[in-house]
Structure 1
Amino acid sequence: MTATEFKTALERFKLKSKMIKELTYNSLIKENSDQQEERINYLLKPENYIKFFDYYFGVGVSHSLADAPCADFHQSSYEKVFADPFIVQMRKWYRGSAKSIHTNVGNVCHLKENNELFFGLLVGRNGDFAKILLSDLQTHLQYNERYIKDFGMQVSYGNWSDGEFDTNDGRKFIALGLNQPFRGLRSGPYRIDFTSLDDCEDRKQAKNQILTNENVEKITGDLVKAFHLRRGRLIVPNNYIIKNGILDGIKEAFKKSKHFDEMVVNLSDANGNPTWYQRLSRKDIKNINSKTDYYTSQREDYNNPIEKGKLFKADWLKFEAVPKEMIFDGAIAHWDLSYTRNGDYKACAIVGIKNGKMYLLDVFCRQCDLPEAMEWHFSMLREYNKKGISILSFYDASVAQAAVFLPSWLAAAEREKYASVPLPNHTSTDKHLRIEATLTDVFFNKLLVIDKKLKDTHDWEKASEQILSFEKGTKAHDDFPDTLENAVRLGRTYFGYSTSQDISSKPFIGKRKTTRRV
């Protein structure tokens, strides 16, 4: 932090402190001492945590820390924290879920007033960032008149800008960067009994595995071993933005512990319903998703740390204008269907095969109802038939899936007055290995051409997102890569591999050369 930035932060702190003092004083409620004591005891029960937060910091308070009532997960996560004094809780909550303000202010204050916290440590990715985290806590402890009325004057010594302060009831709070030492920290008889490791994950640093391992060892060793004998809560508020980073390291170290708790909260469920429904609507979810590119949205809002082109590179995708007069050796259509409208995508790849080379001619990749997908299927069959091309079509189906989908296909064929119904196709081999092996081959070796007309279509946009974000173990949609792999593999089975691939493996058959005896 530069000197100018530090000065700005100090001025902002002074202004914010004055506002909180004035506004919270004006919102004090009139009550006698018995009523006040009863209210405080009620708010300090762990099952009433979000009422505690709302009363002192929430939407009912002038200059609040929140713009909506608390979420269900704010309550349930804290109840676990309160119940287990040695908890290691990973709060993999989406960006904008109020994970920092609840962890560093709400949880801290509720624990403190229940005598469950005497020495709190806020850890940021660096010292300056940690001090900013500490400033939110000090501002309310020092100037929130609602809080002061119920629990007395708070701050006795120190300032967030120095990285630490003490309170009148003998509690200490300090701020440190992840790169600063944790060993030997003590305040009188107390060692650290609460730590918030806030937003310490960094995508760039995570690529340095040596540094990542050092940070993980520091957290799981230096920090945890510095905890109090009878209490030591470690909360990690950080959404899951990178694989093999600090979060994965902490999880690996503590996953077998009975005190480990991993709480994943995404922006919405698969059907677009907001997780924090008290604050967001389905329309809000659509707007948020539309403002961010797919890969950033998956990392920041859905705890799915995918990287564009992690396995399949964008420059591997070969676009060409496919001649209308091209006569194919055969054509395959393959469907990957889903049971729900807003769950997985319904995806289809129509692939033409010529001399073993693949041509992606048409694409369907939508979250839609089954009839919409089937209507598109039969309209495509008619269109290709007019061009003199007969398509051999399949759909991905186990025996159970075939029992569900076959009646729908038959009904659609009767409705469309078209006799050709896709054949069920199912393979039991590992899906991710199939996709990686087959598509790496055809993409890298330029054996799959994508018709140029698809490039700017909505279906191809979604299909290409799934291709470029695909990697083993991903939680991202992989319906299109799956159906494309099936189409390519079936195309090779029925209509052969490319000539260039056959040269090295094709056996030579001929007459044996003999020597004539004289």
Structure 2
Amino acid sequence: MKKKDKDALERYKKRLELSANSVHLNPFETEAERNREMALAKKSFKACVERYFPHFATCEVPDFHIDLANKARANQKIKAFLEWGRAQAKSVFADVLLPFWLWINGIDVYLVLVGNNKDRAEQLLEDLRAEFEANPQIINDFGVQHNPGNWESGFFVTRSGFVGQALGMGQSVRGLRVKSKRPTIIVMDDCETKDLVQNPARQEKIAKWVERDLLPTMDGEVRMFLYANNRFAPNMVQIILQERHPDWLVHRVNAYDPVTYEPRWKAKYAPNYFKELEQEIGVLAAHAEYNNEPHIEGTIFKNDDIQYAPLPRLNTFKIIFGYWDVAYAGTKTSDYNAVVIQGVKGRDFWEIDCFVKQCKIAEVLDYMCITQIGLPASVVIHWVFEAQFWNDAIEDAIKLAEKKYGIQLNIIKRKNPGINKYDRILSLQPYYQNRRFFYNEKLKHKRDHQVAKGQLMGIEPGYKTKDDYPDAKKGATDECQKYAVDDSGNNTAAYKSTTGNYNQSSNRW
């Protein structure tokens, strides 16, 4: 036996052991009780999972699993994208629990499970095959399902007629038929790889394969299609399909609230789990993998534009501004309160610190007050925000914060120049190209800075990302520009911006 086949057999044996040893039959269950429990499992997805798959249901079944299961049972022609964050049990739900529940509800199931390659698809299908072969509760309630002669890796037919077949993405669909049966449920699970999302031509080819080859293999009354993948990249096959088929369901579930860190699946995750995870892997990676917010590698502003360096002493800056882009709501869908603290040194601009959060006004004012209190006696920050945001609520919040900390912020109101926001932000590009922006190296791993970078690199024509940090960066730069001078002492605002790399050796600290 080849090592690959031997390893696959060992994995399957372990699955059989898990299924056989994790389900314990109730020896005292009467026939009436059994019939009642089976009827309940048929009616309730949650009850089904708890009765037949307690080894998967290590915590309470989440409401979003129940919601999509009910939608699938009610609409047997459903086309749905499971855009659930990582660790929300997409694969278990789509590959095992849902097909089984539909089957006990009397739906004729011919499941085609598509992986990014044939081997991966076969591995995914083994979970369900093992349950049919070894799960004591399934055998007790529905009889022996193991069907020698039609029972192999990548393809099985139970004695009751449930068909499971594995298929690699892009593979020929010829042969997707068992006698007169055609596929009734197609699940594409975790098909988007890091390589695929970097290959637009191949993505387009796969989208056409789904539409023109895969879906037409179903021609009966039951034609379900589920695409299970979190939205971790800005360009994906599922995005192409969603744009072409706006009537298909996008069932999006983010793993946690980015403001409060409250988990979506409260029974599974501790309140601080995702806050700790952000600290471990970084906010951009966490948002991409768990909250369907892919990090966009900019086409205008890029990672290479961000140059870090040790921060000069604060009292060596000619002037320091703290520019505040105001937001009110403080919810997971609201704009961000963004503050950029930036200083001028010669002809260059140094980002000393930043605050970028979806929060209430009081929190950002706390930050500003604490920052001001922590400054050396010889250093002053000039706070600025756009006059259009001024209202009684802002004025009251500022007064409360000043009273709380016993200081005066002396915030300057500036009138918005009225230029289109995209054009205004785009005017930052020459500063990055000419290497005139420096970032305090201590910001590199700060959460607010990571969010800021994500927003900056999302700026492109027709962008739909948040732009609060780039707007604040532009405001801070306009304030600082009035005080920036070249080596001859001339204000650099009088000079036309040029492209190219700025020679950092001329920067004098």
- Specify if TM > 0.5: yes
355 and 198 in structure 1: CA distance in 2 versus 1, 3 angstrom threshold: same
Unaligned runs of 5+ in 2: 498-509
Gaps of 5+ in 1: 59-63, 506-518
Task: Determine the C-alpha separation between the residues in 1 that align with 2:14 and 2:372.
Answer: 68
Measured after TM superposition, the shift of residue 460 of structure 1 is 5.2
2:397 to 371, 387, 408: 408
Matches within 5 A, 1:68-217: 68-158=59-149, 161-183=152-174, 185-217=176-208
Partner residue in 1 for 2:458: 471
Give distance in 1, aligned partners of 2:2 and 2:468: 52
> Aligned match of 1:420 in 410, 414, 431?
410
CA distance in 1, matches of 2:314, 2:30: 86
2:50 to 51, 54, 60: 54
RMSD: 3.2
| Aligned-residue offset at 1:497 | 8.8
Partner of 2:428: helix, strand, or coil?
A: helix
DSSP 3-state at the match of 2:165: strand
Letter of the 1:471 counterpart: G
Q: 1:372 to 1:288 in 2, by over 3 A?
A: closer
The letter of the residue matching 1:265 is V
CA 495–36 in structure 1, closer or farther in 2 if over 3 Å, else same: same
Contact 1:299 1:305 in 2 (8 A): yes
Q: Which residue does the alignment assign to 1:510? A: none
Larger Rg: 1
Task: Give the total of aligned pairs.
Answer: 485
1:407-447 Cα shifts (integer Å, max 9, x gaps): 11133345534272342655776655543x13322122122
SS in 2 for 1:155: coil
- Once the two structures are superposed, what CA deviation does each residue of 1:25-74 show, in whole Å capped at 9, x if it has no partner? x42353333332232122112xx11111111002xxxxx12321211101
**Alignment pair present for 1:36 and 2:34:** yes
Matches within 5 A, 1:236-255: 236-255=227-246
TM-score normalised per structure 1? 0.83
Equivalences for residues 456-467 of structure 1 within 5 A: 456-457=442-443, 462-467=448-453
- Structure 2 letter corresponding to 1:315: D
Decide whether the 8 Å contact of 2:204 with 2:240 is kept in 1: yes
Q: Does 1:267 align with 2:255?
A: yes
Q: Which moved more, 1:332-341 or 1:295-304?
A: 332-341
Displacement, 1:404?
2.5
Aligned residue for 2:503?
A: none
Aligned to 1:16: 15
Question: Identity percentage over the alignment?
Answer: 23
Confirm or deny: 8 A CA contact 2:387 2:413 kept in the other structure. no
For the structure 1 residues 72 and 355, does the alpha-carbon distance in structure 2 shift closer, same or farther, using more than 3 Å as the test?
same
Does structure 1 retain, via aligned residues, the 8 Å contact 2:76–2:224? Answer: yes
Partner of 1:61: none
Q: Which amino acid aligns with 1:52?
A: C
8 Å CA contact retained: 1:93, 1:264: yes
Structure 1 pair 52–474 and aligned structure 2 pair: CA distance change class (3 A): farther
Provide closer, same or farther for how the CA distance between residues 5 and 35 of structure 1 changes in structure 2, counting only shifts above 3 A.
Answer: same
Relative to structure 1, the CA distance from residue 384 to residue 295 in structure 2 (aligned partners, 3 Å threshold; closer, same or farther) is: closer
Alpha-carbon separation, structure 1, partners of 2:453 and 2:324:
16
Distance 1:234 1:37 in 2: 31
Which of 37, 60, 65 pairs up with 2:56? 65
Would the alpha carbon gap of residues 157 and 174 (structure 1) be closer, same or farther in structure 2, given more than 3 Å must change? farther
Instruction: Flag the 1:109–1:459 CA change in 2: closer, same or farther, 3 A.
Output: closer
**1:283, distance to aligned residue in structure 2 (A):** 2.2
Letter of the 2:186 partner, please give it.
Answer: T
Cα deviation, residue 304, structure 1: 1.2
Contact between 1:342 and 1:367, CA under 8 Å: does it hold in 2? Answer: yes
Q: Which residue of 1 aligns with 2:324?
A: 335
- 1 CA distance for matches of 2:472 and 2:262? 27
Q: What displacement does 1:384 show?
A: 6.9
Contact 1:193 1:231 in 2 (8 A): yes
CA deviation after TM superposition for structure 1 residue 231, in Å: 1.4
Residue 278 of structure 1: aligned partner: 267
Q: Which amino acid aligns with 1:39?
A: E
Q: What per-residue deviation string (whole Å, max 9, x for no partner) do you get for residues 185-208 of structure 1?
A: 222222111011000011212221
Residues 1:94 and 1:414: Cα distance change in structure 2 (over 3 Å): closer
Task: Tell me what 1:292 maps to.
Answer: 281
Distance change >3 Å, CA 331–CA 279, structure 1 → 2? closer
Q: List per-residue Cα deviations over 1:62-96 (Å, max 9, x = no partner).
A: xx123212111010011111111111110011111
**CA–CA separation in structure 2 for the residues paired with 1:371 and 1:282:** 23
SS in 2 for 1:282: coil
Question: Could you tell me whether the CA contact under 8 Å between 1:409 and 1:421 is conserved in 2?
Answer: no
1:220 alignment partner in structure 2? 211
Please tell me the residue identity of whatever aligns with 2:6.
K
Distance 1:12 1:324 in 2: 60
Distance in 1 separating the partners of 2:114 and 2:424? 43
Q: Which amino acid aligns with 2:449?
A: A
